[in-house]
Amino acid sequence: MRNQRVLVTGGAGFIGSNLAAELAERNDVVALDDCYLGTPENLPENVEFVEASVLEEDLPTDVDAVFHLAALSSYAMHEEEPRRGVRVNVEGFVNVVEQARRDGCDTVVYASTSSIYGTRTEPSPEDADVTVNTGYEASKLARERYGEYFSNHYGMSACGLRFFSVYQGYDGAEAHKGEFANVIAQFADDVARGESPKLYGDGTQTRDFTHVSDVVRALELAADRELDGVYNVGTGDRHSFNTLVELLNEELGTDVAPEYVENPIPEEVYVHDTCADSSKLRKATGWEPEIGFEEGIERVCEPYR
């Protein structure tokens, strides 16, 4: 994107601030955040920051494109406050997109989730059966349906990206999030300080870990191409939590053993394995993941050396 005015909701959070900083090199960027999970300290000076909720009126939606990343983004958050989860993730999405539509914006790219695929060891395509086992997943699937509504009823480009385990180190935009930070950042910090990272179960669960820089490129390409519908964003590879801890020890020159703890998430709803089939996005945009897992771990560990 170039020479456009764009709005990033959740713009002071993890993915949002990375996206806002990248877009601001070539565009006029407004980052909107209520500071529940985000902090304006994540943002460079060339990004305009607006502290507001996605549920409010008179939002800064007079823009060329909206990147809607604001959400309550974990299972625990929705279990603790289910009604708030629905309001923020669903009503907040509709509120932002409707205000943008009225202001003449017809390009929206928004965050969905790979969790709706459940546990799968083979790459999941977008047309695979999806299921809802948590309030978080329900809210993201509802968001996709409302995206479809805005597309079909108003002719907007509404593109939902199903992210697979996005990560970055604490030197990025995650340090303030504590227990809600991505698992790689948490484990790296534990190992670097000589503390055992806590792994649920036996540590054999796997994730398609995708570096935030690759996710930022996917978001920008989706807006550039005015994509519609849903697309996966992931590498197509998966790695276990045990392997993750081994690689962190290798990179940091440490020998910290993990601590295996009981999984607080019920087994019937816990997603044990994820893996993306991103061929649809690759075909539509030419996107390819550029940061391999080993390089990503090196980047996460660099500040601790």
Instruction: Point out the catalytic residue in the list 75, 110, 117, 136.
Output: 136
Give the span between the Cα atoms of 132 and 90, in whole angstroms: 15
Q: Is the pLDDT of residue 173 over 90?
A: no
What are the backbone angles phi and psi of residue 90, rounded to the nearest 5°? Answer: -105, -60
The pLDDT > 70 percentage for the chain reads 100
The fold adopted by the segment(s) 5-166+210-236+277-285 is Rossmann fold (3.40.50)
pLDDT band at 51 (very low <50, low <70, confident <90, very high): very high
Q: What is the reported pLDDT for 305?
A: 83
Q: Which two tokens stand for residue 222?
A: 């989706």
Write the DSSP assignment of the chain as a string of letters: --S-EEEEETTTSHHHHHHHHHHTTTSEEEEEE-SSS--GGGS-TTSEEEE--TTSSS-S--SSEEEE-----SHHHHHH-HHHHHIIIIIHHHHHHHHHHHTT--EEEEEEEGGGG-S-SSPBPTTS-----SHHHHHHHHHHHHHHHHHHHH--EEEEEEE--EE--TTTTTGGGGGGS-HHHHHHHHHHTTPPPEEETTS--EE--EEHHHHHHHHHHHHHTT--EEEEE--S--EEHHHHHHHHHHHHT--PPPEEE--SS-TTT---B--B--HHHHHHH-----S-HHHHHHHHHGGG-
Q: CATH class for domain 175-205+238-273+292-304?
A: alpha beta
Mean pLDDT of 175-194: 89
Residue 179 pLDDT = 76
Q: What is the pLDDT of residues 153-163, one digit of tens each?
A: 999 999 999 99
Per-residue model confidence (pLDDT) at position 1: 86
Question: And the tokens for 187?
Answer: 């484990």
What is the pairing mode between strands 65-68 and 229-233?
Answer: unpaired
Report whether 196 contacts 256 (CB < 8 A).
Answer: yes
Q: What is the pLDDT of residue 216?
A: 98
Phi-psi region for residue 44, left (φ > 0), alpha (ψ -120 to 50) or beta? Answer: beta
107 CB-near residues (< 8 Å, 6+ apart): 64, 65, 66, 156, 157, 223, 226
Q: Which of 122, 76, 12 is nearest to 265 (CA)?
A: 76
Which pLDDT score, from 0 to 100, does residue 171 have? 82
Whether residue 59 contacts residue 96, with contact meaning beta carbons closer than 8 Å, is answered with yes
Integer Cα distance of 138 and 131 in angstroms: 9
Domain boundaries, the chain: 5-166+210-236+277-285, 175-205+238-273+292-304
pLDDT digits (tens, 9 = 90+) for 60-118: 999 999 999 999 988 888 989 999 999 999 999 999 999 999 999 999 999 999 999 99
270 assigned to active site: no
pLDDT band per the 50, 70, 90 thresholds, residue 181: confident
Tens digits of per-residue pLDDT, 186-230?
999 999 999 999 999 999 999 999 999 999 999 999 999 999 999
